[in-house]
Amino acid sequence: MLQQTTETQAAAVDATVEKISTKINTLSTEDPTEENAVEDSGDKKKKKRKKKKKVAQVFEKAIANEYRGVYPPGEFQDYNLKRTTDEEIRSDANIKHAEETWNKFRKGAEIHRRARKYAKENLKPGMTMIEVVEMIENQVRDMAGTNDSLKGGMGFPTGVSLNSCAAHYTPNAGDKTVLQYDDVMKVDFGVHVDGNIIDCAFTHTFNPKYDDLLSAVQEATNTGIRTAGIDVRLTDIGEAVEEVMESHEIELDGKVYPIKCIRNLNGHNILNRRIHGGKTIPIVKNGDPTKLEENETIAIETFGSTGKGYVIQSGECSHYMKSFEPPVNATIRLDRARKLMATIDKNFGTLPFCRRYLDRVGEEKYLLALNNLVREGLVTEHPPLVDIKDCYTAQFEHTVLLQPTRKEVVSRGDDY
């Protein structure tokens, strides 16, 4: 193709040169007497020669007429083809991978929206907490479209923490707790698609007297989302959340309570199959200068309380997770514990699980083995987190994708 272009260009130039040569020859052979004029002045006759047109002017005019101001290009040569192509391939691959990952998050978010919509329409006082969580989890598993819990389904157990309990409560088998009209229930559940986890939560009440508490926490969460972004310092997010949250108060039964941030709970980044990626996003100003980064996935969650604004571990543990950094010298001495560890690897990997999930996959009489894995540091336990007695806590949370040019609140819905 290049050779044909060059030959065409050469032929065009040859034709142009031939035309110019013909023109020049014509000018050169004209009769000089025709260019002379005789001027009489007395006895002398002077000849005045007309100026000849310059050859350069003729050449320029001929070139302009030939190409009409659009001249043929020279020879094109590619840059280092391999280097350029490799860079383009890497860029295209990164964009394609990111889009595929974001699409999986979006699928998980849509499942979460539909499951929580179903839950809100069907929750009612008098249900047992086991009925509540199974209603939600069955919805998620049905919509996930797979029986392989490592490919899709629950990202972590459904938390249904009540009143002063802010987080990490889900009922174990045999739990008889019943949902009451005056309860404040934090519904926190995860959905994953190929390990891409949607972490999203809301607070459900039946009694409207708690509306001010819910409004304060929801506004604080939205403030955290608006503040978050690439290169934003973590402490700045916490400061913005704290300012909004603690500008609110609530009157309950004739007494006014300030709404406080639960300062030792926070948001976090999310990695594949790792719900807490190691970066914490505070809900109070804490001086942490660490910045959020491009392409991070984060969970912005805030907790408000009418109590002290500080939680401690209390109550029977239900949440567990395989340790990401187990002790180097950890050993499993009990044969039953080794078998249980194999079950955990097969069904959950590094995703959080609860006792009910072990029951569901057929494990029996496993508590001793489970506690052994916890003692060896191979599994971590996450007991319920509770503020002072008789206070009320609320939570709202969304998953946010920090894309290069914008952030996507991927779990956002019409409800919150």
Indicate which residues carry an active-site annotation: 188, 199, 268, 276, 301, 397
| The two three-digit tokens of residue 370, written as one number | 């489970």
Instruction: Give the residue ranges of the annotated binding site for substrate.
Output: 168, 276
Pinpoint the alpha helices (H) of 123-177.
Answer: 129-144
Distance, in Å, from the CA atom of 328 to the CA atom of 112, rounded to the nearest integer, reads 38
Angle at 362 between CA 358 and CA 363, to 5 degrees: 55
Q: Could you give the count of Cα atoms lying within 13 Å of 409 in the half-sphere of its Cβ?
A: 18
Instruction: Give the residue ranges of the annotated binding site for a divalent metal cation.
Output: 188, 199, 268, 301, 397
CB contact set of 225 (below 8 Å; sequence gap of 6+): 300, 398, 400, 407, 409
Instruction: Give the residue ranges of the annotated binding site.
Output: 168, 188, 199, 268, 276, 301, 397
| Angle of the 367-375 helix axis to the 335-347 helix axis, nearest 10 | 90
Beta bridge partners of 312: 386
> Strand order of the sheet with strand 385-386?
165-167, 385-386, 312-313
With the C-alpha atoms ordered 86, 87, 93, 96, is the resulting torsion angle positive or negative?
A: negative
Are 240 and 224 in contact by the 8 Å Cβ rule? The answer is yes
Phi, psi of 220 (to 5 degrees): -65, -40
